[in-house]
Amino acid sequence: GQSLEQPSEVTAVEGAIVQINCTYQTSGFYGLSWYQQHDGGAPTFLSYNALDGLEETGRFSSFLSRSDSYGYLLLQELQMKDSASYFCAVGSQAGTALIFGKGTTLSVSS
């Protein structure tokens, strides 16, 4: 079967750093993506890793290790507005369907 595992909840305070891990087991692999979804909103794309290593976009970074079937999303200098659900997703074929994890709810407090 195909599955992605990520923690269900993470809590942190403003200004802190938090890491959301994702391990995957899929029949094919065409990159690991991360999406953010605020309560009541639509998921929005955050980052994508096709190759091993770290990709940085402002306060957010994403890491991939294909040999370990593992990746993480790193959020730095947390702000209240970062409170949301974060989903990792794996593409089994370029440009087509993604398999999503069940999501991690991040709560940032002051």
Partner 1 sequence: DVKVTQSSRYLVKRTGEKVFLECVQDMDHENMFWYRQDPGLGLRLIYFSYDVKMKEKGDIPEGYSVSREKKERFSLILESASTNQTSMYLCASSFAGANQPAYNEQFFGPGTRLTVL
Which residues in this chain contact partner 1 in the complex, by CB under 8 A? 8, 30-31, 33, 35, 41-45, 48, 50, 87, 91, 94-103
- Which tokens is 28 given? 């094919």
As measured in angstroms, the least distance from the Cβ of 59 to partner 1 is 18
Using DSSP bridges, classify how beta strands 18-25 and 3-5 pair: parallel, antiparallel or unpaired. antiparallel
In three-state secondary structure terms, 2 is coil
CA 36/CA 43 separation, integer angstroms: 5
As measured in angstroms, the least distance from the Cβ of 81 to partner 1 is 19
Cβ proximity to partner 1, 63 vs 87, nearer residue: 87
Cβ proximity to partner 1, 4 vs 78, nearer residue: 4
Give alpha helix (H) positions in the chain.
none
- Which tokens is 96 given? 């087509």
As measured in angstroms, the least distance from the Cβ of 16 to partner 1 is 25
Cβ proximity to partner 1, 95 vs 110, nearer residue: 95
